[in-house]
Structure 1
């Protein structure tokens, strides 16, 4: 075999390995956003407003996480707010709870998606001010604000200013506190509850023990709120693709958002080292074979 042929084989083999490494690194980078199969968003630990206290009080949201299998979505929330809510005589019902959890697959900002009927949402707190009758998954959702019923903030700018004035750091998990995804100013513009929608699925409550068995671990991020709330639903209730999910307290005293994606099938596992090695070797031999065939045809 002449030197040109040898160089051709070396170049083809090296190229095959290079592109294999790039491809596998891209897969690994995508999978590395997960931990134990859960996609986490961690919020500021100093932006929950509870009366005169900013940070660490009843309304402190620490994190939210989502895990998927081929047919089921699991959601977990870590905070200091009980699912029974927070007793407050200034609230219309005498109790302030979680708002509803919204999912937006449209790629539009929240208000635009809301106006176009493109929002999905989950009512998981049976005692909140949601405009739908029962807990569950809803499509074609129209969102509303219930902050005025719960002695809350009229807009996000007011909330951010209050937190910063007390030395806290406002944030929304995967979004900044001032992200234009949400309207920041105006009267009663924090849309945190389902106004109306079409029920398309049920939810099943999950205990902290069940969530732990599923690999959930907020503590790895030092997110150690007193409450871990979880539920699951059938993925057929929602589309596949990228989404932004968000959750506010009914008073908008804290909020969190998560960027994620639902696949049509279960999420791909991170390749094992043996699989990576086997793929590289296989592609190398394919490259050598291609080079030899090319040389043979030239001869």
Structure 2
């Protein structure tokens, strides 16, 4: 690689990651061995914590392997909960309440709604039997999402979920790296009704273009990649792990949103993907410079 190209990559990486350090985001997580841990409260689910409690998610941007790793710790298994229909007097269209899809927003517009309306989301369908309109598991670009909460005995949006939780338990809903009423989620933090579907939180892929596959991974492979379940104060009954090619996502800062089909325990994660080459130069510059500052900021704000 010539010096000119190296300098361009140097500048791009520094700009992206120094820009990240200017954000004042209240986060609830840690960074360790390149894994970005987003920790969710262990008492903020509805519908039965033994079924729907989501304890957190961790993501790793693995430069060396050109891979993005994802690990989720929760009480709900990959294939969801067989509830039958109806469930607690409410409709569950297929008798199963499962995972929604995982969404990454790199748009920089600070609006989940705007990113969705403009088809700017990247979506990951990882649950093989959920209600996603994506035809199969994998990574999708140009995604528009839709809501299936009313088909899954669900809470219509973040305001509705928090109100239900607070009314029943006195607890305020947590969402990992963001508050449930963060401006990023806009209209989905406002009061709504069953009929007002425009305010229902989008939680599955409605349309998009498949750009790659995912590979499901088990506990041993996650551990070999440096994942430590013990970083979470509370752990779920199940660990769901998968990985995919890093080149399928853009370079930069993202907001990731993970929702169940019922929206019983939502989660948001803040992170970034970085330029993977030239590896020796960037590892030195970013390891001791901008990327290190961002890591320290997240660790400090998480305490």
- For the aligned pair, the TM-score class normalised by the smaller chain equals 0.7 to 0.9
Please give the per-residue CA displacement for 1:10-56, whole angstroms capped at 9, x wherever unaligned: xxxxxxxxxxxxxxxx99xx8x9521210011011111112xx4xx3
Please give the per-residue CA displacement for 1:177-202, whole angstroms capped at 9, x wherever unaligned: 11121121333411000000000010
SS in 2 for 1:93: coil
Runs of 4+ with >2 A deviation: 185-188, 266-271
- How far has the Cα of 1:167 moved from its partner? 2.6
Aligned to 1:178: 181
Aligned 8 A contact 1:48 1:57 in 2: no
Structure 2, unaligned runs of 5 or more = 1-16, 22-28, 87-91, 289-303
1:42-191 → structure 2 map (5 Å cutoff) = 42-50=39-47, 53=48, 56-70=49-63, 71-89=66-84, 90=86, 91-108=92-109, 109-165=111-167, 166-182=169-185, 183-185=188-190, 186=192, 187-188=196-197, 189-191=200-202
Q: CA RMSD in A?
A: 2.2
- How far has the Cα of 1:221 moved from its partner? 2.9
Bigger mean CA deviation after superposition, 141-150 or 221-230: 221-230
Number of aligned residue pairs:
241
- Counterpart CA distance in 2 for 1:218 and 1:144 is 31
Q: Select the structure of larger CA radius of gyration.
A: 1
1:127-276 → structure 2 map (5 Å cutoff) = 127-165=129-167, 166-182=169-185, 183-185=188-190, 186=192, 187-188=196-197, 189-265=200-276, 268=283, 270=287
Aligned 8 A contact 1:101 1:123 in 2: yes
Please give the per-residue CA displacement for 1:90-149, whole angstroms capped at 9, x wherever unaligned: 210100110000000001210001111110010000100001110000000010001011
Bigger mean CA deviation after superposition, 127-136 or 69-78: 69-78
TM-score (norm 2): 0.75
Aligned to 2:5: none
